């Protein structure tokens, strides 16, 4: 069979863990740190980014043969900005409280380098279905990372998750975690943990290879 | 006058764009290995910020009153074309400066600090002079954070740190400590 079937599952799955945009590629840092002071904000931001990335990937991929090469970046940016405007106004209507808290960071989704990166690296060169799957996978990975970060910071800094108190009244909140420094520190430590897991896994694989070589 | 001073100090130190608002983190983490390049990038960003604030004021005052929903799209288009224009201008007027800035100049388009500046100063309803002062404060604050970070990274490059922690993880932890130090500025103006 000469034509290779695209591996849909692989394209979808890679964004979740192996090529997680936040933990592996360290992309889209600004919203990651700025809005993850509570799990709820992180979740809303994740959903907003999910919508923008998926729709933009769909559109860019369907128009990929029509967009002139020289102005492709500007075209992507305008497509992204259009959908961000849609998200901005929808959130303002549906969840005014959260919209107020996220403030300027919803419009700033436009300059999230992860979104533009996916358009340039993937959606502009691949058919529609696979581009959308790639976008969904990447966006879910982004959402997952945001949620982990938001949950850790909210639990440590506020003793709560999604606004529900987890500990008794004697819990002393670690306020610095919901303030800006907490964002840097939490992400730094999470990256460290991620790196450590990766190294442990590599070591395990190496060890198993050695064992196999011995028994053979 | 004191109002302008307050806007300036607030953007420079207390609400530092990088360390308090998390804007412009990509260059902050990406282009801070060396002190001199960090400084140049900071100055280029300052320059674009000033021009952006002027353009944003014009757009807000004369055009977007009629169509506020186009704000985001027009801002991003204006910023992208301004960066392009500044690039051509510098190349024509001062080739030496152009070579010194190199790739950083076009990359400024995707720096969220620029768009953030335009949006923040619109949300706060700043006038022309206030917006300009805000842009200068924010740009200098960005430069300050970048230079501090580059200095710390140059110092720690030779430190005996475990291999595991080197790289982004350590940079983020350094940034966290830096951000904590900047929180101290929050008390600067509350007394007066």
Q: What is the pLDDT of residues B55-105, one digit of tens each?
A: 888 888 887 777 777 888 888 888 878 777 777 887 888 787 777 666 667
8 Å CB contact of B77 and A78: yes
Rg of chain B (C-alpha set):
18
Shortest distance between the Cα of A5 and any Cα of chain B, in A, equals 35
In a domain, A2, yes or no: no
In a domain, A194, yes or no: yes
Domain hosting A45: range is: 8-215
B162 touches chain A (CB under 8 A): no
In a domain, A186, yes or no: yes
Domain hosting B127: range is: 26-187
8 Å CB contact of B72 and A77: no
Q: How far is CA A7 from CA A21, A125, A129, A130, A131, in A?
A: 20, 15, 11, 9, 12
Shortest distance between the Cα of A13 and any Cα of chain B, in A, equals 24
8 Å CB contact of A107 and B115: yes
B157 touches chain A (CB under 8 A): no
CB neighbourhood size of B154 (10 A):
14
* Rounded percentage of chain B residues whose pLDDT exceeds 90: 1
B64 touches chain A (CB under 8 A): no
Q: Which two tokens stand for residue A210?
A: 């050695």
8 Å CB contact of A192 and B26: no
Query: Measured between beta carbons, which residues in chain B are less than 8 angstroms from residue A188?
Result: 168-173, 175-176
B39-44 average pLDDT score: 82
Q: Which residues of B138-153 are buried (b: 16+ CB within 10 A; e: fewer)?
A: bbbbbbbbbbbbbebb
Give the best residue of B18, B25, B186 to mutate against chain A (max A CB count within 10 A).
Answer: B25
β partners of residue B57: none
CA torsion, points B110, B72, B49, B29, in degrees to nearest 10?
A: -30
Q: Which two tokens stand for residue B44?
A: 């280029």
Query: Measured between beta carbons, which residues in chain A are less than 8 angstroms from residue B116?
Result: 104, 108
In a domain, B18, yes or no: no
Residue A145: predicted pLDDT: 86
A92 touches chain B (CB under 8 A): no
In a domain, B10, yes or no: no
B73 touches chain A (CB under 8 A): yes
8 Å CB contact of A180 and B22: yes
Q: Pairing relation of β-strands A164-165 and A160-161?
A: antiparallel
Domain count across chain A = 1
* Distance separating alpha carbons of residues B179 and A208, to the nearest angstrom: 43
In a domain, B121, yes or no: yes
Residue A6: predicted pLDDT: 63
Is-contact A174 A157, C-beta < 8 A? yes
In a domain, B192, yes or no: no
8 Å CB contact of A188 and B183: no
Query: Measured between beta carbons, which residues in chain A are less than 8 angstroms from residue B80?
Result: 74, 77
In eight-state DSSP terms, residue B99 is H
In a domain, B100, yes or no: yes
Write the DSSP assignment of chain A as a string of letters: --SPPP-HHHHHHHTTTTT-TTTTT---HHHHHHSTTSHHHHHHHHHHHHHHHHHHHHHHHHTTTTS-GGGHHHHHHHHHHHHHHHHHHHHHHH-HHHHHHHGGGTGGGGG-HHHHHHIIIIITTS-HHHHHHHHHHHHHHHHHHHHHHHHHHHHHHHSEETTEE-S-TT----GGGGSHHHHHHHHHHHHHHHHHHHHHHHHHHHHHHHHHHHH-
Q: Which two tokens stand for residue A121?
A: 């690296």
Residue A55: predicted pLDDT: 92
Domain count across chain B = 1
Is-contact B10 B137, C-beta < 8 A? yes
Query: Measured between beta carbons, which residues in chain B are less than 8 angstroms from residue A26?
Result: 29, 168
Dump pLDDT digits (tens) for B123-141. 887 888 888 888 898 889 9
Helix (H) / strand (E) containing B106: helix B104-107
Residue A32: predicted pLDDT: 78
* Distance separating alpha carbons of residues B103 and B101, to the nearest angstrom: 6
8 Å CB contact of B176 and A182: yes
Q: Using CB atoms within 10 Å of the CB of residue A201, give its burial: 0 to 12 exposed, 13 to 18 middle, 19+ buried.
A: exposed
User: Could you give the ipTM of this predicted complex?
Assistant: 0.78
Tens place of pLDDT per residue across chain A (216 aa):
344 556 777 777 776 777 777 777 777 777 778 888 788 888 888 888 899 999 999 998 888 888 887 777 778 888 888 898 898 889 888 888 888 888 778 888 887 778 888 887 888 888 888 888 888 888 888 888 888 888 888 888 777 777 677 776 777 777 777 788 888 888 888 888 888 888 888 888 888 888 888 877
Give the best residue of A81, A83, A153 to mutate against chain B (max B CB count within 10 A).
Answer: A81
* Distance separating alpha carbons of residues A32 and A71, to the nearest angstrom: 29
In a domain, A96, yes or no: yes
B123 touches chain A (CB under 8 A): yes
* Distance separating alpha carbons of residues A213 and A215, to the nearest angstrom: 6
Question: Which residue from B19, B25, B72 is facing A107, i.e. has the nearest CB?
Answer: B72
* Distance separating alpha carbons of residues A138 and B95, to the nearest angstrom: 41
In a domain, B131, yes or no: yes
Whose CA is closest to A108, among B112, B125, B76, B11? B112
Q: Is the pLDDT of residue B1 over 60?
A: no
CA torsion, points B173, B176, B177, B183, in degrees to nearest 10?
A: 180
Closest residue, chain B, to A79 (C-alpha): B73
* Distance separating alpha carbons of residues B38 and B177, to the nearest angstrom: 19
* Distance separating alpha carbons of residues A104 and A110, to the nearest angstrom: 11
Residue B191: predicted pLDDT: 43
């Amino acid at each position: 069979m000469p034509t290779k079937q695209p591996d849909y599952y692989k394209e979808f799955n890679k964004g979740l863990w192996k090529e997680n945009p936040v933990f592996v590629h360290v992309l889209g840092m600004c919203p990651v740190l700025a809005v993850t002071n509570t799990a709820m904000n992180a979740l809303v931001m994740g959903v907003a980014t999910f919508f923008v990335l998926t729709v933009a990937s769909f559109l860019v991929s369907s128009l990929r043969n029509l967009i002139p090469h020289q102005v492709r970046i500007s075209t992507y940016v305008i497509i992204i900005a259009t959908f961000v405007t849609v998200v901005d106004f929808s959130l303002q209507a549906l969840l005014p409280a959260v919209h107020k808290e996220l403030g300027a960071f919803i419009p700033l989704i436009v300059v999230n380098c992860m979104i533009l990166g996916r358009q340039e690296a993937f959606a502009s060169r691949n058919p529609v279905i696979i581009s959308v799957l790639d976008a969904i996978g990447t966006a879910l990975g982004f959402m997952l990372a945001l949620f982990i970060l938001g949950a850790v910071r909210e639990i440590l800094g506020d003793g709560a998750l999604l606004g529900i108190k987890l500990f008794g009244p004697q819990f002393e909140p670690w306020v610095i975690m919901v303030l800006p420094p907490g964002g840097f520190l939490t992400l730094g430590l999470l990256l460290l943990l991620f790196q450590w897991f990766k190294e442990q896994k590599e070591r395990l694989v190496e060890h198993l290879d050695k064992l196999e070589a011995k028994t053979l | 006058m004191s109002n302008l001073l307050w806007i300036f100090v607030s953007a420079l130190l207390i609400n530092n764009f990088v360390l308090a608002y998390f804007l412009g983190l990509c260059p902050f983490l990406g282009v801070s290995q060396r002190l001199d390049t960090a400084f140049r990038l900071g100055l280029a960003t300052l320059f674009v910020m000033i021009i952006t604030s002027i353009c944003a004021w014009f757009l807000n005052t004369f055009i977007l009153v009629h169509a506020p929903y186009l704000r985001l799209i027009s801002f991003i288009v204006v910023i992208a074309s301004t960066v392009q224009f500044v690039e051509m201008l510098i190349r024509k007027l001062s080739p030496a400066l152009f070579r010194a800035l190199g790739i950083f100049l076009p990359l400024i388009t995707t720096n969220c600090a620029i768009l953030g500046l335009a949006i923040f100063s619109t949300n706060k309803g700043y006038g022309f002079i206030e917006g300009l002062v805000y842009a200068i404060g924010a740009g200098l604050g960005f430069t300050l954070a970048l230079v501090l970070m580059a200095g710390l990274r140059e110092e720690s490059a030779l430190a005996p740190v475990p291999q595991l922690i080197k790289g982004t993880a350590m940079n983020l932890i350094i940034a966290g400590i830096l951000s904590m130090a900047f929180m101290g500025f929050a008390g600067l103006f509350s007394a007066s």
